[in-house]
Structure 1
Amino acid sequence: MKSNWKKLSLTIGLGTALILTGCSSDSSANEDVTLTYSIWDQGQAEGMNAIADAFEEENPTIQVNVEVTPWDQYWTKLESGAQGESLPDLFWMHSNEFANYSEGQILMDVTDLADESETLNMADFPEELVELYTTENDELLGVPKDYGNIGLWYNKTLFDEAGLDYPDEDWTWDDLLENAEILTDVENDVYGVLAPLNREEGYHNFIHQNGGYVISEDKTTSGFREDETVEAVQWYADLSVEHGVSPTVGQFADNSNLSFFQSGRAAMGFFGSWMISQLAENEYTNENVDVAPMPAGTEEAVIYNGLANSISAFTDYPEEARQFLEFLSSEEAMIIQGEYGSAIPALSGTDTSFLEAYPQFNIQAYLDQMEYAVIKPYSKYTARWEDVENQALIPVFEGEATVEEVSETIITGVEEVLESEN
C-alpha cells in the first residue's frame, strides 16, 4: 500500500498534467495514435490482442499495444508510473488495489462516457462490480471487464477408480468430507481435497455458506465476531489439521494446490474461473478433470470478483483512450474475450461465449453460481486487513491454535484497519 505522502505527491502538479491532457486530443486528431493497454495475465494476451485488432480495423488511425507485465511486477510498475505521471493509457484494475488509485486523480473519471454513450450502459454489468469501481463521490473510474467465481474441480479418474459418483449441485459439506476421506491415500501421496490457507478460492466461500460474513456491509466490523464465521473457518482448516484429507501448510509451501491437482495427487480442489486456461493447457488435467458447483453449507454461496478497465488521467490521448474503453466494454469485444477463453465477460448476455472456449469442461457451473454469488469482501484498504487475517490464521492451519483462539487478534487488527479508513 502507498503511504499518504505518496498519494499527495501524485496529486501535486496534477492540475497542470490534466490541462496538458485536455489539450492533447486536438493535436492528435489528424495523426496516428498509439495507445498502451497494460495487463498482467499472459494467458489472456491472445484475447486482448484480438480485441485490439478488431478495434484497429474500425479505427485505423489508432494502434493499441497490449503490454503484459506479470502480477508480481505489475503493481510496482504501475505505482512507479503513477508517481511519475507516466502510466499506460489504459490498464486493468483490481478491487484490492482500487483504493490506491481512486484518490489523487490518477484515474480518469468516465462517468460522462457512460452517460453519453449510445452503446455503454452500466446497467448491463453486475451492479456490485460497478459499485466497486465507483467512488463515494459517484465517479466511475473503471468499467467492469469480467467476472469470476470459484468452482469445485474434481479428478474423474480418481472418482472412477474409487467407484464414486461425481460431485454435483446437490453436494453439501458432508458429501465433500465423506468423499475426500475415501479418496485420500496418504501412502501414495494422494489427497481427497486441497484446502490451503486461501481466502478467495478457499475459506471465505465457506464463511458465507455457513451464514457468516468476512466484514460487515458498512465496512466497520470483522465477521470473526460471529460464531458462524469462526465455525466455518475451523471446519475448512480441519480438512487438513483434523481429518488429514488435505495436504498440510508445509506441503503447500513445497507444492501449490495447482501442482498437486495437475499431477493427479488430489481428487478435488477449489479453483477460480481465471485458472481454467492453466487447467486446460496441462495435458493431465485437460483429460482427467471437470468442475461442479461449490458444495453448500447451511446455504448456497460463492465468492465472485471482477476486473475493470481504467484510463490513466495522465494519458496524452484521452479521446482515443475513451474510444478504446468504449469498445472494450462493447458486445463485440466481450464476445471476443469469451471465445478466446480469456475470462468470463462482465457484459450481460455475453458470458455464454466463454463456454465455447472450453467445451471439455462443465463451465456452465460458474455461470449458474452467479444466482447466489457474493461479492469478494472489500473496503478501502482491503489488502491491509486481509494480511492481518492471513497472519493470524497461520497457526490455525499449522494445527497450533484454533480459530476461536486467534479470533480476537483478527477482530482487533481488522477493525483497526477499517476504522483508519474513515
Structure 2
Amino acid sequence: MRKGIILFLVFCIVIISGCSSNILSKKETTELTLYTYNQDPEVAKAVINVLEQFNKEHPEIKVNLIRNAPNQPSVVGLLKQLEESDKQVDLLWLSSYMGIGEAVAGKYVQSLEQHSDSLKLNDFYVDLESQRYNDELYTVPFLLNNTLIYYNKDLFDKYQIQYPTEDWTYEDLVNMAAGLTSVQDKVVGLLNGGFLYYSVPGAYGGNTLNEDENGIQLAIAEEDALEGIEFLTNAFRNNKIDGRLGETYSERAVTVPSFENGTAAMMVNSSRFLNMQYEKVPNYGVAPLPKGPSSQQGISFIESLGISSKSEHPEEALEVLRYLTTDTAARELLVRSGVTLPTTSDEKVFDAFEKRFADSGDFETVQGALNKSNEVTSGPGLVTSVPGLNNVIIKLERLFYEQMYAGKMKVDGEFEAQIKQINDEWLIEQQTANESFE
C-alpha cells in the first residue's frame, strides 16, 4: 500500500514537472500597435491582411492596426496628442503629408540608423533622402503611389481625339480636354484638374523647392514656374476644360463630372485607382502627367513606417517594420491589392505588379512613371523631410483650389505675395523645430 502511494506521488511529480517545463518553454505573445491616420478602408483592409499573415508566421508577436480619424489638420498637434496619451504605440504609419520632419523634431520616432544594414536599404530604388533628418534615417518607405491621368477611350474615339502619349505636353492636354468638353453631351474634358497646380510649377520651372543657408523654400513664384501656373489658370478660365460655363467655377458647370459614368473624358488621380477603374470603366487608358519645358514630370507620394519613441518593444517593432517594407510575400500581397506600387527592386514583386494589367501598354506607362519616383517623392512635388511640410500643403491647397482653380485670383503680385508669406512662416517653423531637436 505504502509502495503504491509513493509510486503515485512520483508519477504526479513527473506530470507536474512536465507541465511546468511546457509552460516555461512556451513564449508569451507580445502585442504591438501600428498606428495610422489613413482613413481609406481599402488600404486598411490590405494592410490588415498582411498583418494577419505576419501574425501566422510569427505567433510570438501580434500586431494590431489602429486607425484614428484626425480631429485637426496639424501634424504636430496630432503626433503630440498621441505621444502624450496613454495609448500604446509601437509603430507609426506616416502619410506623405505627415513628413517625418515633425515626427523627428518632436522626438516621436526612434532613429533607425543603427539598423541600416538589416533594413536592406540597397533594395529600395525609391530615394531615401525624404526618410532622413539631419542625415540620419528615421523611417522607411511603406506605400508608394504616383499621380496619373486616366482617359476614357470610348469618348476619345467618339470625338476623334488622339490618345495621350508618353511625351505629351500641357498644351496637348489642354487641346484634348477642350475638344472633349461638350455642353450638349454634358461631358467635361478633365476631372480633378486642380491637382495639376502641384505639378505644373516644376514642369515649367525645374524645381518646386530651393534650399539656401536659411532653409527650404517654395520656388513656385519664380518666373518659369509662374508661366506654368498662369498657363493652367487660363486653361480653366478661358478654355473651360473642366466644364465650367463662366470664368469661375461657381458660375455653374456643364455637369457634375464623373469618370466612372462617362461624363469626364480624363481624370487626374492616384495610381491606387488602377484596380477600381478596370472594374467600372473597362475601356480606359493611362497616361503620365504632361511634360513642360523643364525636366520634372510627375508626382509621387510615399507613406512611411517608423518605430514610435513610446514603444516598449522596439526589437519586435523592428521585426514588423522589416517584414512590411521588404519581405517578398508581404510586398506581393500589398502590390496585388492595388494600394501601392513596388518600392523595392524585388523581381517577384514586380511580376505581381505586372499581372495587375490587362494591357501591357498601361503597365509600361505606369512603370515609366514609377521610374521617375527618384525625382519627385514625398508629397505633391515636394522632396523634403523638413518640418512644416504639412502646414505648407494645407496653405497651398487653399491657395490653389479656393483661389486659383476657383477663378478668384490671377497670377499676379497677390499670388507672389501669398507664396512669400507661406515661405516666411515656413522658415520660422523650420528654425523652431531645429532648435527643439537640438
Query: TM-score, normalization: structure 2?
Result: 0.78
The count of aligned residue pairs is: 384
Name the amino acid aligned to 2:51. A
- The equivalent of 1:114 in structure 2 is 116
Over the aligned positions, Cα root-mean-square deviation in angstroms equals: 3.1
Q: What is the CA deviation profile of residues 44-90 of structure 1, one whole-angstrom value per residue up to 9, with x for unaligned ones?
A: 23332332233223211112223344577896765532221525322
* Rg comparison, structure with higher value: 2
- The equivalent of 2:6 in structure 1 is none
- The equivalent of 2:404 in structure 1 is 396
CA spacing shift, 1:180–1:196, aligned 2, 3 Å: closer
How does 1:155-166 map onto structure 2 within 5 Å? 155-166=152-163
Offset at residue 302 of structure 1 (A)? 1.0
Name the amino acid aligned to 1:290. G
Alpha carbons 2:94, 2:304 under 8 Å: kept: yes
- The equivalent of 1:176 in structure 2 is 173
Alpha carbons 2:143, 2:302 under 8 Å: kept: yes
Alpha carbons 1:215, 1:223 under 8 Å: kept: yes
Name the amino acid aligned to 2:155. L
- The equivalent of 1:191 in structure 2 is 188
Residue in structure 2 matching 1:238, options 216, 234, 241: 234
- The equivalent of 2:267 in structure 1 is 269
CA distance in 2, matches of 1:159, 1:237: 24
Q: Which moved more, 1:46-55 or 1:389-398?
A: 389-398
Q: Which moved more, 1:203-212 or 1:232-241?
A: 203-212
Name the amino acid aligned to 1:346. T
Name the amino acid aligned to 1:110. L
CA distance in 1, matches of 2:365, 2:45: 25
CA distance in 2, matches of 1:208, 1:273: 20
How does 1:7-156 map onto structure 2 within 5 Å? 30-39=27-36, 40=38, 41-69=40-68, 79-84=80-85, 86-97=87-98, 98-115=100-117, 117=118, 120-126=119-125, 128=127, 130-136=128-134, 138-156=135-153
SS at match of 2:264: coil
Offset at residue 297 of structure 1 (A)? 1.8
Alpha carbons 1:191, 1:265 under 8 Å: kept: yes
For structure 2, which runs of at least 5 residues remain unmatched after alignment? 1-23, 432-438
CA distance in 2, matches of 1:386, 1:103: 18
Alpha carbons 1:392, 1:409 under 8 Å: kept: no
Alpha carbons 2:170, 2:291 under 8 Å: kept: yes
SS at match of 1:64: strand
Alpha carbons 2:143, 2:339 under 8 Å: kept: no
Q: What is the CA deviation profile of residues 325-359 of structure 1, one whole-angstrom value per residue up to 9, with x for unaligned ones?
A: 11112232222211222211312233453332343
Question: Is the counterpart of residue 205 in structure 1 residue 212 in structure 2?
Answer: no
Offset at residue 370 of structure 1 (A)? 3.6
Alpha carbons 1:388, 1:413 under 8 Å: kept: no
Larger helix proportion, structure 1 or 2? 1
Q: What is the CA deviation profile of residues 137-157 of structure 1, one whole-angstrom value per residue up to 9, with x for unaligned ones?
A: x43221111322211210111
Name the amino acid aligned to 2:394. D
CA distance in 2, matches of 1:235, 1:398: 15
Q: Which moved more, 1:33-42 or 1:76-85?
A: 76-85
SS at match of 1:347: coil
CA spacing shift, 1:43–1:161, aligned 2, 3 Å: same
Alpha carbons 2:97, 2:389 under 8 Å: kept: yes
- The equivalent of 1:289 in structure 2 is 284
- The equivalent of 2:427 in structure 1 is 419
Q: Which moved more, 1:353-362 or 1:42-51?
A: 353-362
- The equivalent of 2:390 in structure 1 is 383
CA distance in 2, matches of 1:408, 1:161: 42
Alpha carbons 1:195, 1:247 under 8 Å: kept: no
SS at match of 2:133: coil
CA spacing shift, 1:250–1:402, aligned 2, 3 Å: closer
Question: Is the counterpart of residue 365 in structure 1 residue 344 in structure 2?
Answer: no
How does 1:300-339 map onto structure 2 within 5 Å? 300=295, 301-332=297-328, 333-339=330-336
- The equivalent of 2:414 in structure 1 is 406
SS at match of 1:99: helix
Offset at residue 176 of structure 1 (A)? 1.4
CA distance in 1, matches of 2:150, 2:376: 20
CA distance in 2, matches of 1:106, 1:208: 32
Residue in structure 2 matching 1:228, options 221, 224, 228: 224
CA distance in 2, matches of 1:70, 1:181: 39
SS at match of 1:262: coil
Alpha carbons 1:35, 1:65 under 8 Å: kept: yes
- The equivalent of 1:7 in structure 2 is none
CA distance in 1, matches of 2:131, 2:151: 34
CA distance in 2, matches of 1:309, 1:191: 39
Query: TM-score, normalization: structure 1?
Result: 0.81
CA distance in 1, matches of 2:26, 2:101: 33
CA spacing shift, 1:68–1:384, aligned 2, 3 Å: closer
SS at match of 1:264: coil
For structure 1, which runs of at least 5 residues remain unmatched after alignment? 1-26
Offset at residue 242 of structure 1 (A)? 1.2
Name the amino acid aligned to 1:52. L
CA spacing shift, 1:28–1:388, aligned 2, 3 Å: farther
Alpha carbons 1:338, 1:355 under 8 Å: kept: no
Name the amino acid aligned to 1:367. Q
Name the amino acid aligned to 2:418. I
SS at match of 2:111: coil
